[in-house]
Structure 1
Amino acid sequence: MKNKRTIILTSVMCMLPEILSVILYKRLPEQIAVHWNSAGEVDGYFPKALAAFGMPVLFLLLNLYSNIRLLYDPRREGHSKVLRAISIWTVPLTSLILVPATLFIALGAQIPISALSSSVVGILLIVTGNYLPKSRRNYVMGVRLPWTFHDPDNWNKTNRMAGHIMVAGGVIILLSGYLQQIAVLYGVSIIVVITALIIIIPFFYSFALYKKEKDKNPLT
């Protein structure tokens, strides 16, 4: 019952910006900016109907997907409580902030969207990185690989190392929103670079730990 209430509440929060969309709809331009590059320049537009009414629906679907996976994880006892709360509330809060910001920018409001986005992503990575090592093996949170599920020691070491990368990456992304000279690295967004490192380095680190243990104990 508690899980159902959580899903209903977060879903309602995702859809609340629809009220603002109805109020502002006639004043909105036909094309609305929905994506900005690392330099703060618009590089993506949606028709106003899709931006005003479609984005909350997209967040609703993301919320349903993430919360059903999270709340009905058979190994949910392994979740970090802090990461669990972050995972539950990130999507609805993002909808409540991002959709109104997008609509007001379309109407001419001066909102530093790049700095705002970098700040949110950076803070999320820093907090997640701090609490990632506290998660035990589960199907939703953490670095979930065949080798981390195979060995709890591999899980612990890999997630501890991944947490350090997340914290360092979060600090860099946080700064990149205000220091444009580090927002792009050789033409590639620093967020893309950090995301790639968070995925790739723990993967090979976990595999290396597995191979080392396998070489020591070839029969296991």
Structure 2
Amino acid sequence: MNLRRSYLVGIVLVALSAVLSALAYPEMPAEMATRWGASGEVNGQTPKLVALSLLPGLSALLLGAFAVLPRIDPLGENVAQFREQYDTFVVLMLAFLAYLNLVVVAANAGYEFEIAQALAPAIGTLYYYVGVLSAHAERNWFVGIRTPWTISSDEVWERTHERVAPLFKLAGVVAVFAALVPAYAELLLAAPVAGVALYATVYSFFEYRRVGA
């Protein structure tokens, strides 16, 4: 996916999310449900102007940030080596936020469904692609497993990302499976990716010591 097309898609996704919020505004309650507990009960509400502005606004900010980061990264030339995967991740992240906005609007419009089940496939897809991105990412300051030890050594960076790439993909598969077992959905969505992050941190430390970087 080339740069111009990917960011055009990103702009369209942000615009669609903003249009959805604008169209939904008159129909939404003054206080919108924005947080749900493990059993699906509402445990947090937000004024509708804030709730409907938050995700489109966040999407716009992220799109701008993702466009700028490779230009200000001291290792920006490395980002160019996996720019296709980077740009695809940007689109997937913005698509996820647009979908999340849709889920929040639908839930507040009275449609009944399990929030965790609705989000599980989208979260799983995002986790899986983080695995794809990890397999291609070169050392940089903003994307990937950025610990003091990976940032300090190309070899540690490469070995750590080789290890965690399939684990992130596995976490994505587990997250999708969470849609089938709503009683354990939150655990299946959070625990695997948290475990991968912890493993990556510990592994990079010991790998750095092993290679004597």
Q: Which moved more, 1:17-26 or 1:165-174?
A: 17-26
* TM norm structure 1: 0.79
AA partner of residue 176 (structure 1): A
Contact 2:6 2:91 in 1 (8 A): no
Q: Is the 8 A contact 1:15 1:57 kept in 2?
A: no
Q: Which residue in the other structure is 2:37 paired with?
A: 37
More off after superposition, 22-31 vs 201-210? 22-31
Hey, what's the Cα distance between the residues in 1 that align with 2:162 and 2:41?
36
After superposition, the C-alpha distances for 1:47-89 in whole angstroms (9 at most, x for unaligned) are: 111112333112222332233214654232232623x133221
1:194 has 2:192 as partner: yes
3-state SS in 2 of match to 1:46: strand
Indicate the RMSD between aligned Cα atoms, in angstroms.
2.7
Q: Matched residues in 1 for 2:18 and 2:104: separation?
A: 13
Give the Cα separation in 2 of the matches to 1:57 and 1:176: 29
Q: Indicate the residue corresponding to 1:52 in structure 2.
A: 52
Cα distance, 1:162 vs. partner? 1.2
Q: Which amino acid aligns with 1:172?
A: V
Alpha-carbon displacement from aligned partner over 1:173-206 (angstroms, at most 9, x marks no partner): 211222124325xxxx343322321221111111
Query: Which ranges of structure 1 fall in alignment gaps of 5 or more residues?
Result: 215-219
Q: 1:40 to 1:137 in 2, by over 3 A?
A: same
Letter in 1 for 2:201: F
Structure 2 length normalisation: TM-score? Answer: 0.82
User: 1:142 aligned to 122, 141, 144, which one?
Assistant: 144
8 Å contact kept, 2:96–2:122: no
Choose between structure 1 and 2: higher helix proportion: 2
Q: Where does 1:176-195 land on structure 2 (aligned, <5 Å)?
A: 176-184=178-186, 189-195=187-193
Which structure: larger Rg?
1
Write out per-residue CA displacement over residues 115-167 of structure 1, whole angstroms, 9 at most, x where no aligned residue: 12111111221232144222222233221223223332211210011112212
What's the counterpart of residue 21 of structure 1?
21
Structure 2 contact 7–91 (Cα < 8 Å) conserved: no
Matches of 2:126 and 2:104, distance apart in 1: 21
Identity of aligned residues (%): 21
